[in-house]
A = this chain, B = another copy of it.
Amino acid sequence: MTREEHIRRGFAQQSMMATIGAELTFVGEGRAEITAPLSKGFLQHNGFGHAGLTFTLGDTAAGFAAMTLMGLDQAVVTSEIGVHLLSPAVGDLLIARGQVIKPGRRQIVSAADVYAVTDGAEKHIARLTGTMVPIPAG
């Protein structure tokens, strides 16, 4: 199994990703991108995408960015992560791009930016920064 297969298998095992219709659209060294539709079932009271949806995509992109630096016997879990919501989640789909800020044996600091896409134009809607911790792969 290659590292990309290991990562894609981990992604496929997350039922949350299937539920929100997310796809792992890019994987690179220290980077991962996740794309999901902005669907009717994930809105808040004002009709915008729920912060929970934006967070879920950003957290997962940050985590899989860290996963690209792990061995085939390792996975990661989020230890802590914070999100700044910059603009309402309005559009056709959301793209979260995660990137490792600082690799490490005990902890990896990762960030993610989330964009809302309308007619192909991206708007920056959130910035996340968090700490990922390696665990044995399941």
Contacts and interface: CB of A to CB of B under 8 A. Distances in A.
Interface of A: 10-11, 13-16, 18-19, 40-47, 50-53, 55-56, 59-60, 75, 77-87, 101-102, 106-107, 109, 111, 124, 127, 129, 131, 133, 135, 138
Contacts of A135: 46
B79 A131 contact: yes
A44 to B, nearest CB: 5
When all copies of this chain in the complex are counted, the total is: 4
A60 B52 contact: yes
A47 B47 CA distance: 31
**Residue picked from A84, A109, A131, most chain B C-beta under 10 Å:** A84
B16 A131 contact: no
Contacts of A18: 41
B79 A107 contact: yes
Contacts of A19: 19, 41-42
Given A42-B16, A59-B52, A133 B109 contact: no
